[in-house]
Amino acid sequence: MNYRIRPAKTGDEEALYALAQLTGGGFTNLPADLEALRAKIDRSNLAFSDAEEIVSDHVYVLVLEHTESGQIVGTAQIFAKVGTKQPFYSYRLSKLTKVSPELNQRITTQMLSLTTDLEGCSEVGGLFLHPDHRTGGLGLLLARCRYLFIRLHRARFADRFLAELRGVIDEKGQAPFWNGLGNKFFGMSFQEADQLNSLKGNHFISDLMPDYPIYTALLPESAQAVIGQPHMSGRPAMRMLQKEGFQAGDYIDIFDGGPTMIAATDQIRSIANAREAVLEGSSIEKEGQLSIIATGHLKNFRASYGTIRKNIENNKQVKINQEAIDNLQLTSGDKFIHIPR
């Protein structure tokens, strides 16, 4: 398979812009704005160049590249620490029960509270794959390569990870949750709010959004129905996150109401199950176990599918098919980590 993951670099912004135009909106981490994407790549370049092994507010942008054509067909991002330079807002779901002995009634209501509870977490996000390349497990490669990068650079990330999934957006680009709540306080469309958030950040939320809890029963039924629900295109991503150990908790996105999923970093399946190995040589492609393989430090990071054949006498000495060796730019004796597909 002639695809590999590598860090984004200066010059990739045009390819990312082409991908951003295919998202359909509501994709905060991949705005259809060339200057914003250029700034994001610049920020990512700084992250990959920083030698200090600490948790900071870096963002790491990865791209999926077709090795023969050089075409970028997908991207994914890792945010080392959210909520450092500006608040990281979420809605927390909670319940309040009221009892009236006189009326013999017990009523439980759901409330939304604006919160910054998740500040300090790391985040995986920004995953998008070109529609023409959504076969052959490339989405899985994009998603899971991030965890291998985290495993190789563990000191740079927090002990808890979150993932925000895009909420329900209709064919006209309208978000029922925003229309039922945010629009009432901001007087702007979902597209306008989404673009403002993508380009300027969400600090404007605290200026106008009420501080007190909001009873969901007061929202239109269309808004209530989508609370904590992912966009149809995001359901496969949600299943992948669940397989990794992420769980949908009590937090949702403040714009579209999509679910926020959370996991303990060291319990994420691909991080916990990754195994270290040393390249012994090449093997026939059909021999061995199909795996995701990752190697390299920071800007030299690479990931790809490959078949692994272990040495019977030493499981850490392995052979890989030649195509994967070429994609990963490995030579005999190089170290890497791998997980079964």
Catalytic (active-site) positions: 231
Among all chains, which residue has been given the structure tokens 């398979």? 1
Please report the sign of the dihedral spanned by the C-alpha atoms of residue 263, residue 265, residue 266, residue 271: positive
| Residue 149 neighbours by CB distance under 10 Å | 26
d(Cα 186, Cα 38) in Å, to the nearest integer? 29
Report the distance separating Cα 3 and Cα 307, nearest Å: 14
How many other CB atoms are there within 10 angstroms of residue 103's CB atom? 8
Please, are residues 288 and 308 in contact by the beta-carbon 8 Å criterion?
A: yes
308 and 298 Cβ atoms separated by less than 8 Å: no
Token look-up 């992250």 returns: 47
Cα–Cα distance for residue pair 294/287, rounded to 1 Å: 19
Least Cα distance to 96 among 256, 227, 214 occurs for 214
Q: Which among 319, 242, 250, 248 is positioned nearest to 280, based on CA atoms?
A: 319
User: Angle between the 34-49 and 13-20 helix axes, to the nearest 10 degrees?
Assistant: 130
Burial 172-196 (b: 16+ CB within 10 A, else e): eebbbbbbbbbbeebeebbbebbbe
> How far apart are the C-alpha atoms of 92 and 72, rounded to whole Å?
37
Tokens of 192: 């306008």
